[in-house]
Amino acid sequence: MTAPAARYESRWDAPHADGLSALDRLVYRSNLLGADRSLANWGGGNTSTKTLVTDHTGREGRALFVKASGTDLATIDRAGFAALRLDDLDLLFEREAMADAEMIDYLLRSALDPGQPRPSIETLLHAFIPAPEVDHTHPDAVIALTSAPCGSELAAEAFGADAIWIDYVRPGFRLARVVAQAVRSQPEARFVLLEKHGLVTWGGTSEESYRATLDAVQRALDALAAVAPIEPLGALAVPPFPPEAREPALMELLPRLRGRISRERHHVLEVDTSQAALDFVGRERTRELSQVGAACPDHLVNTKAKPLFLTDAALEEQLDAFESWYRNYYEANLDDESRPFPIDPTGPRVVLAPGLGLITSGTNAARARISNDLYQRAMAVIQLAGGAGGFTSLSEPEAFAIEYWPLERYKLTLAPPPRELEGRIALVTGAASGIGRAIAERLAAEGAHVAIADIDAAGAGDLAAVLCERYGVRRAQAVDMDVTDEKSVAQAFRSTVLAWGGVDIVVSNAGVAVSAPVEETTREVWDRNFDVLVRGYFLVAAQSIEIMRRQGIGGSIVFVGSKNALAAGRNAAAYSAAKAAELHLARCLAEEAGPAGIRINSVNPDAVLRGSAIWNSEWRAERAKAYGISEEKLEDYYRDRTTLRVAVYPEDVAEAGTRPTTWRCCAAGAMRLSRSARTSTARRRRSSSGRARSRASQRRSRSVRPCAAPVVAA
């Protein structure tokens, strides 16, 4: 495996850039740098420009626009920059030292706009360098060069007086001052190389600063290539498993791994089986080099200082060893600064599985993806540095001082607060329309990752796309599933496990309904109802329970039943009998799976017409005929036979399906209402029938008692 060769060519579009304001040009330059992850890792690096602005008093003054904390260069826009009064910042250069909290307070008070985001923790590095444009990045080649044991000699050879070498110092006031003093005392220098960290460049113009970054990275890469052996990671020791062997192995590994990692807080996984990942994890020296430490301080919060490298030993033992290392690392390095921060979940964020790929974890799919993005950078750095004679990293105390640094922890607080089902994985059958769709939407809104299982592949694909657009990358996935076919059910669960590592919530909702008098109920009709509603629910539940048991963190299975499971339905013997069998199946399985913490509940809705594929079929006409009314009167008929006199909508069932222990529907359609449901019911009534009726309904709803015999199996 050789180090990747690259040429860093300028992509600067001068006619475009010349027409931009100073801030827009900074946005343009930042996006160009961020577009190449070998230059700027996800969320890492920062850029700035110094320019004149007119403040709220109408006076003109010097300002520093600098990237805000927690933003990403690839996608940053104007709102991602903070503007500070440069005259205020200049005063700090005379100071000898400044504590982090005092520095942050000072920066916030120097803001030009009180509502702007918090500026980067490396702001003073930008302010103190005497140039209009400054870029600080974490390029793979520069980190590799500055992490190699002979890095400073190689750098001296490659850069001469063009570059200044700065030994490792944690970012903050001291690093900013050390760098600026060095730059001011060596005005002929063009670059600063930060040991085990990255690069600083500057220029009189935006293009000059951008080109200086490319120039420095190219020179670092050439210096590494000049000394690189052919195979820095050694020969391929474990070749990639062929896909037909890889999938069963991952099905065995992922739920156990995820379950263990999720004991403290639910996580989802991402498996990278790209050629590059498979090649990296399978090399002779990968284990040794991967355990040296993080490739960049900026990775630590998302990757931990080292990954778990899987061997043939028992998985539990390997995870025990990893967790115990992490706990010791935390306890040994805890000091007054880090003490306010509790230990992170102790499981690995990155797992290297020879033959299988690179596995990352996060509290949601986006965070698992960030860990993957950052470990891609680590893989490149380890290969490049390995080629230059070795790879060294921050010491454990240095790594800890970054990982639990209050300023680094601050970035984590910028994420939206976790929702109720954050980190959960759900699978909903018959999810492309009607009740299933409403449940899938509701689960996604609560933070779950949702497999949209349906025989309607196009409908499932459309909904998955909508949910990803609404909630973010990899939040939903369409899976083909015919619930009557054992192979199809197994394949759908396999896709779900391979996508996120397991499953926590399964809503069995796929349905079929045929209404006919007994004389007209053919054997085919009978079998079809039992195939879908009994065998289908059994197959889905059996797969769910098997995976949930392997995870070992419990789970929830919900059967969307029917009022017909409990009450006789005229002209619906096959459907009603199948629904009754389905309900009893839930009760039996709940008895079996309960000791493993797996809850199995049934929700039994009555006549949910809106958006339903079943109610758009012949079932509607047949039911109207059975009751001797016209099809148009069906909704009124069903509404009026409920105790509450409300129509039941898919969203109501979704509420019940996602909270099966707090909601119960009974055969008569009367529901025990949660406060939110009461509110939405009242709102619905007000909009349709006026306030007087709404008050009456609310009185009625308060008088509704929980069903005497709740249709809940566990």
Catalytic residue positions, numbered: 575
Alpha carbons 18 and 663: distance in angstroms, whole number: 62
The 3-state DSSP class for residue 671 equals strand
Short-list 597, 578, 502, CA closest to 543: 502
Name the residue nearer to Zn ion (CB basis): 34 or 569. 34
Give the residue with the Cβ less far from Zn ion, 129 or 560: 129
Q: In angstroms, what is the minimal distance from the CB of 171 to Zn ion?
A: 6
Q: Cβ of residue 419: shortest distance to Zn ion, in angstroms?
A: 31
Q: Is 240 strand, coil or helix?
A: coil
- Give φ, ψ of 189 to 5 degrees: -70, 150
Shortest reach from residue 685's CB to Zn ion, in Å = 58
Secondary structure (DSSP) of 251-288: HHHHHHHHHHHTTTS--EEEEE--HHHHHHHTBTTHHH
Nearest distance in Å: CB 46, Zn ion: 7
The residue among 198 and 307 lying less far from Zn ion, judged by its C-beta, is: 198
| Least separation in angstroms between CB 126 and Zn ion | 11
Q: Which residue type, as a one-letter code, is found at position 1? A: M
Nearer to Zn ion, 200 or 489 (CB): 200
CA 122 – CA 175 distance, rounded (Å): 9
Is 600:589 a contact under the CB 8 Å cutoff?
Answer: yes
Give the binding-site size for Zn ion (rule: CB under 5 A): 1
Q: Which residues pair with 508 in a beta bridge?
A: 559
Q: Minimum CB separation from Zn ion for residue 589, in Å?
A: 53
Least distance to Zn ion, CB of residue 127, Å = 15
Residues in region 649-688 near Zn ion by CB under 5 A: none
- Is 19 exposed, middle or buried (CB count within 10 Å of its CB: 0-12, 13-18, 19+)? exposed
Residue in 25, 76, 20, 23 with CA at minimum distance from that of residue 46: 76
Closest approach, Cβ 512 to Zn ion, in A, equals 58
| 411 versus 563: smaller Cβ distance to Zn ion | 411
Distance, CA of 217 to CA of 212 (rounded, Å): 9
CB 431 within 8 A of CB 509: yes
CB of 287 to Zn ion, least distance (A): 28
Task: Provide the minimum distance between the beta carbon of 322 and Zn ion in the complex, in angstroms, as a whole number.
Answer: 27
Pairing type for strands 425-429 and 449-454 reads parallel
Q: Give Cα 127 to chain centroid, integer Å.
A: 34
Closest to Zn ion by CB, 199 or 253: 199
Query: β-strand 191-194 against 198-203: which pairing, if any?
Result: antiparallel
Please provide the DSSP assignment of 80-113 as one string: GEEEEEHHHHHGGGG-S---HHHHHHHHHHTBSS
Alpha helices in 9-122 (DSSP H): 14-18, 22-34, 86-90, 100-109
Which parts of 186-215 interact with Zn ion (CB under 5 A)?
198
Q: Least distance to Zn ion from the beta carbon of 213, Å?
A: 13
What does DSSP assign to residue 335? -
Minimum CB distance to Zn ion smaller for 33 or for 682 = 33
**CB 336 → Zn ion: shortest distance, Å?**
24
Query: Closer CB to Zn ion, residue 121 or residue 453?
Result: 121
Site string for Zn ion, 148-187 (x = CB under 5 A): ----------------------------------------
What x-and-dash track marks residues 281-310 binding Zn ion by CB under 5 A?
------------------------------
Q: How many Cβ atoms are within 10 Å of 522's Cβ, its own excluded?
A: 12
145 vs 250 by CB, closer to Zn ion: 145
Burial class (CB in 10 A: 0-12, 13-18, 19+), 698: middle
Helix (H) or strand (E) holding 309: strand 308-309
| Cα(692)–Cα(158) distance, integer angstroms | 84
- At 485, list the tokens: 């076919």
Q: Which is nearer to Zn ion, 120 or 508 (CB)?
A: 120
137 versus 642: smaller Cβ distance to Zn ion:
137
Q: For residue 456, which amino acid is it? A: D
For Zn ion, which is the closer residue by CB, 198 or 434? 198
User: Considering just the CA atoms, what is the radius of gyration of the chain in Å?
Assistant: 30
SS3 169: coil
Report the alpha-carbon angle 396-398-399, nearest 5: 65
Contact assessment for residue 305 and residue 403, using Cβ atoms and an 8 Å cutoff: yes
81 Cβ contact list (under 8 Å, min separation 6): 23, 26, 27, 65, 66, 67, 68
Cβ–Cβ under 8 Å, residues 273 and 246: yes
Residues in the chain: 714
Instruction: Report the alpha-carbon distance of residue 176 to residue 93 in Å, rounded.
Output: 9
Return the residue nearest Zn ion (CB atom).
Answer: 198
Query: Angle, to 10 degrees, between the axis of helix 22-34 and the axis of helix 206-227?
Result: 20
Distance CA(294)–CA(398), nearest Å, equals: 11
- Interface positions with Zn ion (CB under 5 A): 198
